Structure 1
Amino acid sequence: MNTTISNNGLPGFAQATGSSKGSGGASTTAAPGGSGGTARPADDQLKLTDSARALQQAARPDDSAAIDPLKVERVRQSLADGSYQINSGRIADRMLAMDQQIGGTGKA
């Protein structure tokens, strides 16, 4: 049985053909567009969509988001000595703003 598979513009790869009956050996032939017994793959290319570029840019840390070690130490110390104050109203306001952004129901 001989099967032909078109490559649809993809690089040609070696295709094994053979029969389940007979000597049991399979012969290898190049797919259309190839030369000889092996096919040379085309150069790989990657094209990012605008959305992918935006996600990639957002994932990069910028200088404004750098960690301030002095501030971290002040917060750590205030937690240790019990003087850290939690502003629950500010947390609630920011959570509501985030919920509105995600749901698209309001301004943030």
Structure 2
Amino acid sequence: MNTTISSNGLPQLPLATTSADNSAGQAASTTSAASTSAPQANDSVQLTDSARALHQASSTDAPVDTARVEQIKQSLAAGTYKVDPNAIASKLTSLENQIGGKK
């Protein structure tokens, strides 16, 4: 039973067969295909300023208030943790304004 899978714009690869003769040829074509798709010595990556800023922001060691974390854990376990929908909405609006460039 054959199933057709869309290539999504990628090059089509040969279908696998069960014959031993063809599998040796397929291994050779896979090796040659792998060598042609290997990175070249002149490949490079350029990050945008925003990507660099995001990387720096995510890689810095932010201080963790372990006492606050423990307090929240205990509240969650006891079922007494209260969610303030107004605070959440306010922070979401603030974030949306920052993303949109508004102050």
Q: TM-score, normalised by structure 2?
A: 0.45
Question: Which has more radius of gyration?
Answer: 1
Q: Which of the two has greater strand per residue? A: 1
Q: Which of the two has greater helix per residue? A: 2
